[in-house]
């Protein structure tokens, strides 16, 4: 299984520095769980195309309001949309969380897992 390389190409979006590492961590964890070794000689390129992250103030306000009006907690989301390129095959992937106590690193890790699943097919 090829290793993963993360590229950011989402215009003027500000991707948190921990996101590429969280994607890699999710990818490696999924490979390990599947018992598949990662080969360093080839790479899957995951290009982040769209990135939405709720800020701390937003997340806190949503959490407080969600205690009073639960559906409000699910209005905004942390989300990453990306394209994975492996062996000349392009696959569009995305993942998001709407719950206020899940953050962008959780989204990134799940996206890494989904990338492994897409490449492993």
Model pLDDT for residues 10-52, shown as the tens digit of each residue: 999 999 999 999 999 999 999 999 999 998 788 899 999 999 9
pLDDT tens digits along 64-96: 555 555 565 556 789 999 999 988 999 999 999
State the number of CA atoms in the 13 A half-sphere of 104 facing the CB.
21
Domain with 116 in it: 2-120
Instruction: Residue 69: give its domain's CATH number.
Output: 3.30.160
Domains contained in the chain, number: 1
* CA angle in degrees (0–180, nearest 5) for 31-3-17: 100
Distance of CA 119 to the CA centre of its chain: 15
Note the pTM of the prediction, 2 decimals: 0.84
């Amino acid at each position: 299984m090829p290793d993963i390389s993360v590229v950011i190409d989402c215009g003027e979006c500000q991707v948190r520095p921990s996101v590429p590492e969280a994607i890699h961590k999710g990818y490696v964890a999924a490979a390990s769980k599947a018992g598949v070794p990662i080969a360093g000689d080839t790479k899957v390129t995951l290009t982040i195309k769209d990135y939405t992250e709720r800020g701390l103030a937003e997340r806190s306000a949503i959490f407080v309001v969600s205690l009073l009006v639960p559906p409000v907690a699910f209005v905004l989301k942390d989300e990453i949309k990306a394209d994975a390129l492996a062996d000349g095959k392009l696959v569009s992937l995305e993942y998001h969380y709407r719950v206020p106590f899940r953050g962008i690193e959780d989204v990134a890790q799940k996206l890494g897992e989904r990338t492994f699943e897409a490449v492993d097919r």
